[in-house]
């Protein structure tokens, strides 16, 4: 059991705000139902996300450590998009426990405030609860941590109720069937290979692996390596190679697409300039699906791709032309979901730096599939530019 101050599972629920908490199932049945729900979603099944406890309308889950979660190989930090994906999964799962009967509730918007980065080697633990249910909306909150008392981020997620009539046939029945199924003898058993791996098993539930020592003892925080990296982003090929080196970005199929609307080969030595517009693309991959019935891209995966693209846009503007090399640190992230992102179609991503100061940068991101005039999501985020000067 993971202890955390002010656990969301222990907070009182106002019956007027969540009148049907738990619905027709008890907490143990919901734990089994949500376990089945997570195994049905390709992305969460591949990542081995696990249900730890349910106290409807609140839940606790664990995302075991695996190398595919890395987003900063120089400082060995968890990809910020992993936290977004996990928060979306937590909130969306909690929604089900706050309704009188199961129904599909797509994410309308999601906001994360980042307090500290996740580190290599430790499982992610998260909680979410339903705050209020109305005829058309469900409001939720979540928190994620690795070590007790050290919250990585908090999230607010709002979900649209489609109602039982618009919920796909068989959805409620499948959840109830999972709830009535026999609990597995060993809930921590890994049934699928972790995302981005073919042979290494995920960390067993509850087990902690200490972060590995940095490669360079003279560079304990990875700053020298990171600075050389930032200053080395000169060409299209440099940035393409960077994307290929980020485990989670690679796992979701994110890559470069074009410069100023023109297709360019990944090995191109074309030099990049801040005023040029780069486009990114996320491949159509089965593991990126969050709703197999449509199929639709997992909302958290889409958010992770957009966040990565924005980070690279900020990154490539620093360490050039005499400017001090700085590394973008995500402070907050907010995304609005505008239409369904089909899981069987390529998703394009465009970024625009709205304001850039010495210490702070604001970026707006748009994701689309059919055309730029029909975006599937819009996001904005703030970054603090961390100095990479030697400590």
Q: Where are the domains of the chain?
A: 8-179, 223-387
Lowest model confidence (mean pLDDT) among 118-132, 230-244, 290-304, 349-363: 230-244
For the chain, the average pLDDT equals 84
Which among 8, 62, 10 is positioned nearest to 31, based on CA atoms?
Answer: 62
Average pLDDT over residues 336-365: 94
pLDDT at 171: 86
| Structure confidence at residue 185 as a pLDDT band (50, 70, 90) | very low
Low-confidence winner among 2-11, 22-31, 77-86, 115-124 (lowest mean pLDDT)? 2-11
Q: Which two tokens stand for residue 389?
A: 């000067």
d(CA 34, CA 81): 22
Band of the pLDDT at 194, cuts 50, 70, 90? Answer: low
Confidence of residue 176 (pLDDT cuts 50, 70, 90): confident
Question: What's the pLDDT at 190?
Answer: 40
Confidence of residue 213 (pLDDT cuts 50, 70, 90): very low
What pLDDT is stored for residue 256 in this prediction? 86
pLDDT, residue 203, reads 36
Higher pLDDT, 101 or 214: 101
Q: What percent of the chain has pLDDT over 90?
A: 59
Q: For the segment 268-322, what is each residue's pLDDT rounded down to a tens digit?
A: 677 766 677 888 999 999 999 999 988 999 999 999 999 999 998 888 776 554 4
- 383: tokens are 């970054």
d(CA 300, CA 130): 18
Pick the CATH number of 223-387 from 3.30.460.10, 3.10.129.10, 3.40.640.10, 1.10.3720.10: 3.10.129.10
8-179 and 223-387 have identical folds? yes
Beta strands in the chain (DSSP E): 50-55, 58-63, 70-72, 77-78, 107-114, 124-133, 137-147, 150-160, 254-259, 262-263, 278-282, 289-291, 296-297, 326-337, 347-356, 360-368, 375-387
Fold of 8-179: Thiol Ester Dehydrase; Chain A (3.10.129)
Nearest to 41 by CA among 178, 242, 222: 178
Mean pLDDT of 160-176: 87
What phi and psi values does residue 11 have, to the nearest 5 degrees?
Answer: -80, 140
């Amino acid at each position: 059991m993971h202890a955390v101050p002010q656990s969301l599972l222990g907070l009182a629920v106002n019956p007027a705000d969540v009148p049907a908490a738990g619905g027709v199932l008890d907490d143990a049945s919901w734990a089994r139902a949500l376990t089945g729900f997570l195994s049905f979603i390709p992305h969460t099944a591949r990542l081995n996300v696990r249900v730890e406890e349910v106290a409807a309308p609140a839940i606790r889950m664990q995302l075991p450590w695996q190398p595919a979660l890395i987003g900063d190989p120089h400082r060995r930090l968890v990809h910020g998009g992993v936290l977004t994906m996990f928060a979306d999964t937590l909130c969306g799962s909690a929604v089900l426990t706050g309704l009188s009967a199961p129904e599909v509730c797509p994410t309308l918007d999601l906001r994360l405030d980042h307090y500290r980065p996740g580190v290599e080697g430790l499982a992610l633990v998260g909680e979410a609860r339903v705050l209020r249910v109305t005829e058309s909306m469900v409001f939720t909150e979540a928190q994620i941590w690795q070590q007790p008392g050290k919250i990585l981020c908090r999230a607010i997620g709002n979900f649209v109720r489609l109602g039982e009539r618009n919920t796909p046939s068989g959805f409620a029945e499948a959840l109830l069937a999972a709830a009535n199924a026999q609990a597995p003898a060993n809930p921590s058993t890994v049934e699928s290979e972790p995302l981005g791996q073919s042979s290494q098993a995920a960390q067993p539930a509850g087990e902690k692996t200490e972060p590995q020592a940095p490669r360079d003892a003279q560079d304990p925080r990875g700053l020298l390596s990171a600075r050389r990296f930032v200053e080395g982003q000169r060409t299209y090929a440099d940035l393409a190679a960077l994307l290929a080196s980020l485990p989670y970005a690679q796992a979701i199929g994110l890559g470069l697409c074009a410069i100023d609307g023109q297709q360019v080969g990944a090995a191109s030595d074309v030099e990049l300039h801040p005023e040029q517009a780069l486009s990114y693309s996320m491949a159509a991959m089965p593991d990126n699906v969050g709703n197999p019935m449509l199929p639709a891209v997992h909302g958290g995966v889409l958010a992770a791709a957009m966040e990565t693209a924005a980070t690279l846009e900020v990154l490539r503007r620093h360490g050039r032309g005499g400017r001090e090399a700085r590394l973008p640190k995500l402070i907050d992230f907010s995304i609005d979901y505008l239409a369904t992102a089909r899981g069987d179609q390529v998703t394009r991503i465009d970024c625009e730096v709205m304001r850039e100061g010495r210490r702070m940068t604001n970026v707006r991101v748009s994701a689309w599939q059919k055309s730029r005039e029909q975006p599937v999501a819009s996001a904005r985020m703030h970054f603090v530019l961390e100095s990479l000067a030697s400590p």
